[in-house]
Structure formats: C-alpha cells, structure tokens
Amino acid sequence: ATSIKATQADVKRLSEQWDLLNELVYDGGANELVKQLLGQCAMTPIFFSVAYGRNFISRLFHLHESMPLYLLDYMKNYIKNEVRECREDHLKHYANILHKAWGDCTDEEIKLAIEDAVQDLMECALWCDLKVATKCRKVLQTFHDKMKGHHDCLDMLCRLYEPILWRSFKVANWKVRSNAFLLLAAAFPLLRPHAMTVSDLEDEKLKHYQIYEDGLTDDSEGVRRAAIRGVCKNMSEAWQVFTPEYQNKLVKLVLRCAVDLNSTAVRASVYEGLSELLEQPMTHIYVKDILKDLERFKPICDTSPKVRQAVAKYFDVISERISDINVFDYVSVPTIHGQLAKDHLLSLLESAVTEMTGSRPPKKSLANVDVTSVADKASSLMAKFIFEKGRPAPHESEQQARAREEKEMKERLNKMRELVKEYSISLWAIMARCQSLSDFDLTDRLVQARVLWQAINRRMIPKAVEAIGRCDEAAKRQAKKKGKKKQAVEPDAPDADEKRNIIKSVRVWLIGVRQLLAAKDIDKTTEEAKEALLKDFQEETFLEHLDGEFANEMYQVLYHLPLYGEHYPAVKDRITAQLIDLNYFNTHTQTVVDSLVPLAARWAVLEDAIRSALVAADERFDDIRAKDGRVSAEGPPRTNRAHPRPGGED
C-alpha cells in the first residue's frame, strides 16, 4: 500500500485489517518496522485520494501513544519535500487530518508536536518562494476557517503567529513582506477579545492598521499589491474590526495606489480589490465618492488593457449590486465609447493575426494584450446601458407588460440612433458582444434583431434611397452646368455628406442585425420564433436590395438567419444565377463575393452553381477559340517539348 504502484484496492485491504493492527504490541521497540510502514502511509498520495484512506490515517493517531510522533515526522517531511507538486485537494485533506488530530488530542506533548508542525507550515508560508508559500497558505486555511467561533484554535494560531509573523513585515526581502501580508489577509483578524482588555484590544487593532498603512506605501510593487488585496479582503469580511477613522484612511490609501504610474499591476489590483470590497454592504456608502475621484483621471482609458478590464469589471459589479447608483452619472459615456471602439478594433486585429499566422501574436506586439476580454467586459457594461430591462410592476397585466416592452424598445432604438451618429464602431462592438450578457438570451436577441430590421426597412433604407437619388440628381445638374457628361459631386456638398452619413448608419444597423443573429445557439430557435422572423424578414425586401448599395450586408444577414433556401426560393434562384454570371473583375462583385459564396454553401446551392458556371465558361472559351483567326477551331497546335525550336523559342 505504500509503494509507488499501490492502488485504491490495496488501501482498502489495509484499512480492513484494522483489528489486526490494533492487537499488535508497540511498546519497547516491538514491531518497529510495522510502525515505520504505517508512518509511510501518511506520505503516500493514494491514501489522500479516497475517503477510507484518509480515515485510516486519522485513526492511526489513536492506535498507540507513540504513533502520533511517528506520523508527524513523516507528514512534516512529506509536506516540506512535496508541497510544490502536491495536489491542492490532498493538501486540504492533510490539513483536515492535522486539525482533527490536534482537536482530539489530550496529551500535551503530542499537542505541542502538532503545533510545531503547524508552525513549520507558517514559516514555509512566510519564507519560501511564492509558489510554495501559496500551497502552505492553503493548508493553513483550514485552521483559519476553524478558528472563527473556536477560541482554542484562535488562541493557538495567535500564539504561534506571534514570534514569526509580525517581524516579517520589517525584513529587507520584499517577497517575505509580500507573503506576510497575504498570510495576514488569510488569518485576519488575529485578535482574542475573550482574553484581552478593551485597551489591549484597541492596541492590537491599531497594530493591524499601521501594518496595512506601511504596506500600502511600501517601495516594492509586490508588497503594495499584497497589501491592497489584504485590505480589501479583510474590510469586506470583517468591516466592524476597523473604526470609521481607519476605514476612511485605508480607502484613501487604496485609491492613491490607483494612480501609481510605476506599476500596472498595482493599478489593476486596486479595482480588483474595490470589486471585492463591494461584497460588504456597509462599504456601499463610499462608492459615490470613489466614482467621483476616479472620474478625474479616467481609468477606463488607462494605457494597460489589464487595468481597463479591471475598471470595466468594477463598474459592472457596481451596476449589479447597487441598484440606486447609475455608473453613467459619474463616468463619461463618450469616453467609454471611444475606448471601446479602440479595443474592439484591436481585438479584430488580434483575431486576424491569429487566423493568418495560426498562433497568437507575440507578447510584445501591439495586439499582445488580451484586448478581446477587455472589449467583452466594456461591451457588456454598455450593453446593459442600452438593453436595460425595466422591472415588471406587481400584478402587471399582459397588456401593461406589452406596453412596457414597446416603450423599452423605443428607448433602445433612440439610444442606438444617437450612437450611430458618433460612435458607430462602439455600437458595432456592443452588438457583436451582447451574447455574453446573462440576462440577454436568444429570445431577446431575436426580438431586438426584428425591431432593428423593421426600423431599417421602414425608415432608414427609404431615406438612404432618397438621399442617393438627390445626390445623383445634384451630380447630373452639376455636370450639365459644366458641360460634361459625368462630374463627381464636390466632397463638401451637403447632398454628398447626407448620402455618406445615411449609408454609414444603414450599414452599421445592418451589421448590428447580423451580430445579434450571429450566435452559437441560433440553431435552437423554435418554430414559433422562425415564423415570427419570416413575417419581418420578408423575401421581397431581400430581392429588392440584393443588387443595390447594401447587397453585401443583406447576404450576411441571410447567412446568419436560422432560415434556409426553402424559406426563400426566389432568393435561392437569384444566388444561383449570380454565381453563374459572376464577373470577378467587377469591383462591386469583389465586395459581394465574400458574403455570397458562404451563403450559397450554407444553402447547398454552391455545387450546382459552380458546375453550371464551369459548363458556361467552357462554352464561352470554345466560342472565343472558334472566332479567333490566329488558331483553328480545334485549338492551338501542340508543341513538342522534347524538340524545342531553334534559337530557344518554344
């Protein structure tokens, strides 16, 4: 059972021999080999992977009075040597066994030995490298969790931490100081109110505050990050430990780190900590003041994507947990839209580089930062602002609910119209990433796509056609005045500007419809929803615009609809005819072909169309050869490559 090749069956057979082990004599050095083998069980990972193995090790502490010391020696050596590679669940089981042995122990000598083993773990959590220290803190976390409400465990931890923890905050090595703050954050608060006077308790609280104050102003980046994490974690979990004076000072010190120009990681840690701080309802009184302070230096435009992601997440958490605070009352919406547009374009660049090269860009390149996740988080925040749902009133009737939904749709359209005018790329990003919203499911996306499509067909496309007509008429009048057949409109002509703006708006809205439909779960659309889509996305509308200014966008919308060629037979015939007659040297065709061919493949019309196009191309080529006077209708003469012409001509 203690060998490398041991199995769970071996552990089970050993645990079933407990009665036999209990009958053996262990006094006077008898059965020393058996005791050593039983001690090695505490070093064998297979025993920690099954419940009866862990139970077996726990029972070994009570097998004989000499067994606990044996087991502790083996367990201490195992943790020190194997903690770096040991699995986290095994460490947790190890800690549970150790805590149970300490709690059940009545022998003072054995109890001191167990406490020595715990203190060894504390020293490793302070003085080892970050990876080993993290593992040791996870072992000690079991004791930290058990000390709440258990005075004996709390007294033991305070007594063991006293000679090693507090002096670690003053050492020269920044890694030790960082480990000390992380360990204090995990064990906080190290106070014994049941065994202290009021004045002593206040002195201990002051010591905790001064330690954190020194950490937030430390010269080392790693120490400041650990102190920020510890302050926010402890204030969210034990808010009442800090007096109002200490609370205000610590929050101000944390916010001062938000403008730390020397470290990106420190600035990001501030917003991650503030997000964790919101778990404590008592801290919500500081949110308005914090938002006012943050608006002064616009963290959403930070040069680091990691910081921007943490800021967007913080704003998102505020909107989720505090209903009476609107983030957009304190944060500049144009600033968010501008930065969102940049991040979205960078994420598209990163995707393009990844697709072309087959690997992610190098870490020091422009697209190296995880801008995709940044854009996702910012888009989620802005999508909540646009697609915000009203809360249904109590005892709301169906008619009232329908009226409320219609009002919300109108408000959404108005917000989107405003965005199209100045922040079209931002709206594009929001539409593309709104699928990540948990409260904006497939049904909501389809409804929003239908509403947008109705607005496009009823208002925007007619306006675009009218503007294009006016612009063409102005061009003809201008050309006629100048006595030329064709004359382009001046770039600053009002009609030309109107034409460009309306075409841009229509395209952005069509892209929005496409992005709302472009979802992995679109195939789960119900038949009822498909019928509703058919009523809005009518075939006549597509036929009218497949050869016009918005043909490319129309093909993309058709591609993402959960409908196929059998729903649009006339469109399917048009696609087949267009594939046969494609002229790839036409500039307009080149812009449409990338959308036309994928749609034809999706509707299974590509194969027949290509076969027909090849046949038609062969017929045209035969006609050209027959009409060419330089060669006969049978084709050009074959050249004998083995005997080239004199002079090297072939």
Strongest mean pLDDT among 33-42, 515-524, 565-574: 565-574
275-303 average pLDDT score: 84
Number of H helices, E strands in the chain: 31, 0
Q: Is the pLDDT of residue 10 over 70?
A: yes
Give the domain-ending residue among 561, 584, 607. Answer: 561
pLDDT of 625 reads 66
Continuous H helices in 49-87: 51-60, 67-82
Confidence of residue 178 (pLDDT cuts 50, 70, 90): very high
Confidence of residue 383 (pLDDT cuts 50, 70, 90): low
Give me the chain's average pLDDT, please.
76
Confidence of residue 98 (pLDDT cuts 50, 70, 90): confident
Confidence of residue 547 (pLDDT cuts 50, 70, 90): confident
248-258 average pLDDT score: 89
Q: How far is CA 335 from CA 55, 61, 300, 330, 442, in A?
A: 59, 64, 8, 12, 30
Q: Are residues 505 and 616 in the same domain?
A: no
Q: What pLDDT, in 10s, does the model give residues 214-247?
A: 999 999 999 999 999 999 998 888 888 888 888 8
For the four alpha carbons of 213, 217, 219 and 220, in that order, the dihedral sign comes to: positive
Q: What pLDDT, in 10s, does the model give residues 180-223?
A: 999 999 988 888 766 678 888 888 888 888 999 999 999 999 99
Strongest mean pLDDT among 133-142, 227-236, 453-462, 552-561: 227-236
Q: Are residues 181 and 309 in the same domain?
A: yes
Q: Which domain holds residue 613?
A: 564-632
**What are the structure tokens assigned to 582, written together?**
């494609």
CA 272 remoteness from chain centre: 14
Q: Are residues 410 and 500 in the same domain?
A: no
pLDDT of 224 reads 93
SS3 16: coil
* Bridge partners, 635 (sequence order): 632
List the single range of 294-308, 545-559, 579-593 with lowest mean pLDDT.
Answer: 579-593
* Pairwise pLDDT comparison (620 vs 121), residue with the higher score: 121
Q: How far is CA 364 from CA 177, 348, 512, in A?
A: 30, 17, 33
What whole-number distance in Å separates Cα of residue 489 and Cα of residue 468?
12
Nearest alpha-carbon partner for 507 in 519, 518, 496, 499:
499
Residue 169 falls within a domain, yes or no? no
Q: Are residues 425 and 317 in the same domain?
A: no
- List the CATH number of the domain containing 275: 1.25.10
Residue 485 falls within a domain, yes or no? yes
* Pairwise pLDDT comparison (625 vs 304), residue with the higher score: 304
Q: Are residues 295 and 343 in the same domain?
A: no
| Cα atoms in the Cβ-side hemisphere of radius 13 Å centred on 164 | 20
Continuous H helices in 434-519: 442-455, 461-481, 494-517
Q: Is the pLDDT of residue 173 over 80?
A: yes
Residue 406 backbone phi and psi in degrees, to 5: -65, -40
Amino acid type, 448: Q
Continuous H helices in 128-243: 130-146, 151-161, 165-168, 174-187, 198-216, 221-237
Q: Are residues 356 and 456 in the same domain?
A: no
Amino acid type, 480: K
SS3 220: coil
Give the domain-ending residue among 128, 163, 198. Answer: 163
Query: Which residues, in sequence order, are CB contacts of 16 under 8 Å at separation 6+?
Result: none
Q: How far is CA 470 from CA 473, 476, 488, 489, 504, in A?
A: 5, 10, 13, 11, 17
Residue 19 falls within a domain, yes or no? yes
Q: Number of folded domains in the chain?
A: 5
Residue 640 falls within a domain, yes or no? no
Q: Are residues 606 and 493 in the same domain?
A: no
What whole-number distance in Å separates Cα of residue 236 and Cα of residue 471?
62
Residue 632 backbone phi and psi in degrees, to 5: -80, 170
Residue 396 falls within a domain, yes or no? no
pLDDT of 389 reads 63
Q: Is the pLDDT of residue 420 over 90?
A: no
Residue 85 backbone phi and psi in degrees, to 5: -105, 0
pLDDT of 582 reads 61
Confidence of residue 9 (pLDDT cuts 50, 70, 90): confident
Q: Are residues 20 and 95 in the same domain?
A: yes
Residue 318 falls within a domain, yes or no? yes
Residue 398 falls within a domain, yes or no? no
pLDDT of 641 reads 36
Nearest alpha-carbon partner for 188 in 154, 214, 216, 138:
154
Confidence of residue 174 (pLDDT cuts 50, 70, 90): very high
Q: Are residues 141 and 90 in the same domain?
A: yes
Residue 190 falls within a domain, yes or no? yes
Cβ 56 vs Cβ 14: under 8 Å: yes
Query: Which residues, in sequence order, are CB contacts of 428 under 8 Å at separation 6+?
Result: 344, 508, 511, 512, 515
Q: Are residues 190 and 322 in the same domain?
A: yes
pLDDT of 266 reads 92
Give the domain-ending residue among 163, 198, 218. Answer: 163
Q: Is the pLDDT of residue 129 over 60?
A: yes
Q: Are residues 180 and 302 in the same domain?
A: yes
Q: Are residues 155 and 187 in the same domain?
A: no
